[in-house]
Homo-oligomer: A and B are copies of this chain.
Amino acid sequence: MKKIHIIGLGLIGGSFALAIKKSLPQVTITGFDKKQQHQEDAKSLNLITEIKEIPDQDTDLILLATPADTLLPIALQLLENIGPDTLIIDFGSTKASICENLANHPKRSQFLAGHPIAGTEYSGPRAAKEDLLERKVFIICEMEKTDIHLKEKAYILLDALNMKLRFMDPKDHDLHLAFVSHLSHISSFMLGKTVLDKMDDESHIFDMAGSGFASTVRLSKSSPEMWVPIIKENKLHILEALGSYIIRLQSFQKRIAEGKFEDLQSEMENINRIKDILDLDK
């Protein structure tokens, strides 16, 4: 593997660049970002060797790390022009739509639908971190549709970056992500809004909010530019998850109003098992 081209040099694209530089130092990394500021930052932070709008014909991998709704048009345009030994991997947070739209493309075998489960609430090249992807899950959808030799290049990259592969159907992916990722972003944004709308004097928030509030509201700092396209692309699953969340909140609200505290206690005890399932923070 000699050449990797990254389109979208924000948090995810930039973190891939840093991790590749460290783990595969022989690889030349080129890249592009339509934002001038991102290009300049990516250069000055040494994320990439060179800004290039068109990747070289002998590029091994093109990584797409742009917002969800831009991935399909970019992939379509690239597929027109790439050499026969190039593989395009997208990093979109939704997978069904892009997989459907490329299903019958004559160069479908030169595309791999991926999703690195990694991120922070920050964005842009300056938020990139060398270890962001370390030991994180990388979901691959419809792996059987990608050429076996090109797929090998993806495995070399993901192995070198110490990522954990999981394989999944694109629709299952989108449904599950609506629940474990997209919903928590919306719940966090609305929590932030509820508190902001209530506080006359916002300096109070800082004083009275403990680390618990900070943790729950953290995702409301995320980039709307990234998240609105995800909501658009995964609309139906997100509506299902959000509806399901609202029903549970209303049921909790009703039982508070009715004073059914023993019932709440046993429900909360039952939810506590999330401790054993998800001890990510240990």
User: Which A positions have Cβ atoms within 8 angstroms of B?
Assistant: 117-121, 136-137, 139, 166, 176-177, 179-181, 183-199, 202-222, 224-225, 227-228, 231-232, 235, 238-239, 241-246, 248-250, 252-253, 256-257, 259, 261, 264-265, 267-269, 271-275, 277-278, 280-281
Minimum Cβ distance to chain B for residue A197 (Å): 7
Q: Is the pair B179, A195 in contact by a Cβ cutoff of 8 Å?
A: yes
Q: Which residues of B lie under 8 Å from residue A248 when comparing CB positions?
A: 190, 193-194, 197
**B219 and A215 contact, CB distance less than 8 A:** yes
Closest partner residue, chain B, to A225 (CB atom)? B265
Q: Which of B176, B204, B246 contacts A253, CB < 8 Å?
A: B246
Closest residue of chain B to A224 (Cβ to Cβ) is: B268
State the Cβ distance, A93 to closest chain B Cβ, in Å: 10
16 sampled A-B residue pairs with Cβ under 8 A: A118-B211, A121-B212, A176-B199, A181-B212, A184-B212, A193-B267, A193-B271, A212-B222, A216-B218, A221-B272, A224-B264, A228-B261, A231-B261, A235-B259, A242-B256, A245-B249
Residues of chain B lying within 8 A (CB to CB) of residue A268? 189, 220, 224, 227-228
Smallest CB gap from A209: residue in B: B180
Chain B residues, Cβ within 8 Å of A137: 207-208
- Most B CB contacts (10 A, CB to CB) among A214, A215, A250, A261 go to A215
Q: Is the CB of B139 within 8 A of A249?
A: no
Residue on B nearest A280 in the bound complex, by CB: B214
Complexed CA–CA distance, A97 and B198 (Å): 22
A185 to B268 alpha-carbon distance, docked (Å): 10
* A264 contact set on B, CB distance < 8 A: 224, 228, 231
CB distance from A105 to the nearest CB of B (A): 27
Q: Which residues of B contact A280 (CB under 8 A)?
A: 206, 209, 211, 214
* Residue in B181, B207, B243 whose CB lies within 8 Å of A208: B181
The CA-CA distance from A250 to B187 in the complex, in Å, is 11
A206 to B136, CA, bound (A): 11
A171, B281: Cα distance in complex, Å: 35
Checking B177, B190, B199, B256 against A245 with a beta-carbon cut-off of 8 angstroms, the contacting residue is B190
Instruction: Report the Cα distance A197→B180, complex, angstroms.
Output: 12
Question: Do A179 and B166 have beta carbons less than 8 Å apart?
Answer: no
A187 touching B191 by the CB < 8 A rule?
yes
Sample of 7 more A-B contacts, CB < 8 Å, known A184-B216, A220-B274, A246-B253: A188-B216, A197-B244, A202-B277, A215-B219, A216-B218, A228-B261, A242-B256
